[in-house]
Amino acid sequence: MNFTESAKRTIQLELEAIAGLSAQIDSNFSIAASLCVNCQGRVVVSGMGKSGHIGRKISATLASTGTPSFFMHPADASHGDLGMLTGSDVVLALSNSGASSEILELIPTIKRRGIPLLSITGDSRSKLALASDAHLSVRISKEACPLNLAPTSSTTAALVMGDALAIALLEARGFSHEDFAFSHPGGALGRKLILKVDDIMHSGISMPKVTLNATILEALIEMTDKKLGITTVVDPLGQLAGVFSDGDLRRALESGKIITDQPVKEYMTQGGAAIALGSLAAEAVRLMQEQRVNAIVVTDQDGLAGVLNMHDLLQAGVV
């Protein structure tokens, strides 16, 4: 058995199935997309067996890209779950044959309630396709399964058609990076898109701070106490004058002087890397990498607001 050849053959057959979808896109796709965009409720996806598995993925993609959606199992639907449907919903039914009895049993109720019915099938002359307000054809020439039985190419084609619909709706709604982030707050992308420096910075008594008259020893004590590898240096009015970091300390040591009693203002970095309050944490990462520093000052209209370092960003999952 040549496993690699089998894998390549399967991939090629599924690629051919996907390539054939473009020619099947017609006015039905526009009708389906319009019905979904104008839907005041949810796009309720349903399908049996492997079509059901694909339907769950399509529903999840719709929901995460701005189109409210949930999956309704057709067998459960005929035993009470049809009560989930409202007159404001749209139903999207999947069945490769278009003849799944569990799906067909739902059609009279859907029609009687005036709910738009969309379908994805491999047979445009099937009962499901003909009963639909819009039918998305995913006809294939053959399954990747050598027996031409196991749903393989057909399920891949249905999934791709579902993705095409979801992305068309995303674009029609003007769904943005920020919208995506609010739908994915627990993911890395969501954190990068919505987490702000305000959420993770050290402020108040947890912010390292010494005055211009402080000695390097006093600055080191403050840095050690606050554990950020940096301390801000402020003028008599409390405004930021500069920062003193581990790097500044090394440069002071290289001077060859006994530095503990030296004034910190002689060795600090004036100003220092800074970012405005309300900025995205991801922007702080970019600035820190660009300026090759491990900590950054956060400022607002009144001056100094806080400090954060790369470890804070790592802990927050932004890096």
Residue 51 within any structural domain of the chain: yes
- Is the residue at 191 inside a domain? no
Q: Do 130 and 216 reside in the same domain of the chain?
A: no
CB 135 within 8 A of CB 35: no
| CATH number reported for the structural domain that contains residue 286 in this entry | 3.10.580.10
Whole-structure pTM value: 0.68
What pLDDT band is residue 79 in, cutting at 50, 70 and 90? confident
Sign, CA dihedral 80-81-86-88, equals negative
**Same domain for 31 and 100:** yes
My answer on whether 16 and 143 are in the same domain is yes
Question: Quick one: 204 and 164 in the same domain?
Answer: no
pLDDT at position 112 is 94
Q: Whats the size of the chain, residue-wise?
A: 319
Is the domain of 38 the same as that of 162?
Answer: yes
86-124: string of b/e by CB count within 10 Å (b at 16+)?
Answer: eeebbbbbbbbebebebbbebbeebeeeebbbbbbbbbb
Mean predicted confidence (pLDDT) in 246-263: 81
CATH code (residue 36): 3.40.50.10490
How confident is the model at residue 252, as a pLDDT?
A: 82
With cut-offs at 50, 70 and 90, classify the pLDDT of residue 170. very high
**Domain limits for position 68:** 3-175
On whether both 49 and 139 belong to a single domain, the answer is yes
Residues 236 and 89 grouped into a single domain: no
Residue 70: which pLDDT band, with cuts at 50, 70 and 90?
very high
Distance CA 95, CA 317 (A): 41
User: Do 78 and 116 have their domain in common?
Assistant: yes
Give the sign of the dihedral formed by CA 243, CA 249, CA 250, CA 253.
positive
Residue owning tokens 């709604």:
173
Q: Mean pLDDT throughout 259-272?
A: 85
The domain boundary, picked from 143, 175, 207, lies at 175
Count of alpha carbons within 13 Å of 171, Cβ hemisphere only?
6
pLDDT tens, residue by residue, 297-308: 999 888 899 999
Is 86 part of a structural domain of the chain?
Answer: yes
pLDDT of residue 49: 95
Of 108, 40, 38, the C-alpha closest to 77 is 108
Q: How far apart are the first and last CA of the chain?
A: 45
What is the pLDDT at residue 273? 85
- Quick one: the chain helix, strand, coil %, rounded to 5? 50, 20, 35
Total of domains in the chain? 2
One domain, residues 153 and 36: yes
